Structures are given as C-alpha cells and as structure tokens.
Amino acid sequence: MCRFPHFSAFLTFLCFLMLSPPSTFAGDPRFNRNSLKDIQSFYVSVEPLAPEIEEDGLTLKSIQNDVEMQLRRAGIQTVPEKEAFDVPGNPYLYVSPHVMKLTATKEYIYSIDVSFHQNVYSVREPTIIVGVATWSGANVIGITGSLTKIQTSIKNQVGAFIDAYRFVNPRD
C-alpha cells in the first residue's frame, strides 16, 4: 500500500496539467496593463467544460453569466458574441476553467486561466494581424471537493483583470 494516500490524485493532477493547452504568459506588469487602455467593450469567451462537470452543477452558462455580471458591476461593458467582431481589435476576455473529476475521492482537479486577447499587428510586417493575449492573470491550480471553490477562483481571477483594467481606465 502506498504511504501517500493522495499520490494517485497527485499523479493524475500532473498528467492533467501536462495535457492542458498551453497558456500565454502575458502577466500583469504595468506594460501589459497598458494594452487594456481605452478599450470600451469586449466579449467574454468561456472554454467549455466536461459534461460530468456540468452535470455536477458548474456550467459554462453559469460561469459566463457570473463573469459578465462581475464586469458590469465594475462598470465595464461587454458585448454579446454576435457583436464581438464589430468591436475594433476584436477584444475578448478568455476564461479557461479546466476541471477534471476524481471519482475515487469525489474531488476536482482544476486549473483556471483568465486572459485578455485582442488583435495586434507586427511592426516588421504591418499587414499581418494576429490575435494574442496581451494580459493574463496568474494561472490558478488546485484540488477541491467543492465546485463553489472553483467558482470563487474564477471570480478572483476576473477581479484581478478588473483591477488591471481600472488601473489604466479609471472611472470618471
């Protein structure tokens, strides 16, 4: 018998992290916050969740609604998906909750990544326009038995984005 009761969960967690899509590391130094300056509105894009996570109660729709409400309460305007391409630079806040259920322990392994993407162009070749992450929060990882804790982690990441946005776009 293994002396570490959560060793298999730890190994599963490591595999989960290695298989998660790579995230960009724009970070939040002052330089990257400046990329949010004068953005009036944007779309919120939430990565889909596994069906078993949605069945347990954490849904893409609930995350989408929570994030949009949190932004509205901070006075930040969002647009629906159908209007996203009408906004200059096609900016969007990308919320990527990777959640995996451990049925043996009834826990969830999660990784939360919140980043802001927009179109930029190459200085060397101005005709090339690419969508990239210009701001990202710290990637949060953990193991929990509570989906509420995962929702709180998402809210905290969105709060860090709001702080960065408000730093360069103070309310009048």
**pLDDT cut 70: percent of the chain above it:** 81
Q: Which two tokens stand for residue 22?
A: 């790579």
Choose the weakest-confidence range: 37-46, 126-135, 155-164.
Answer: 126-135
- On the question of pLDDT at 17 being above 80, the answer is no
Beta bridge partners of 102: 107
3-class SS of residue 8: helix
Coil, strand, or helix at residue 29? Answer: coil
Residue 23, pLDDT > 60, answer no
pLDDT of 62 above 80: yes
Query: DSSP strand E in 106-160: where?
Result: 107-121, 129-136, 140-144
Quote the pLDDT of residue 15: 52
CA distances from 120 to 114, 126, 129, 130, 172 (A): 19, 9, 6, 5, 28
Q: Are 115 and 135 in contact (CB under 8 A)?
A: yes
Q: What is the number of alpha carbons within 13 Å of residue 120 lying toward its C-beta? A: 12
Smallest CA-to-CA distance from 108 within 156, 145, 138 is with 145
Q: Are strands 92-102 and 77-78 parallel, antiparallel or unpaired?
A: unpaired
> How many Å apart are CA 112 and CA 154, to the nearest integer?
7
CA distance 135 to 31: 9
Please answer whether residues 40 and 148 qualify as being in contact, where contact means their C-beta atoms are separated by less than 8 angstroms.
Answer: no
When pLDDT is cut at 50, 70 and 90, the band that residue 25 belongs to is very low
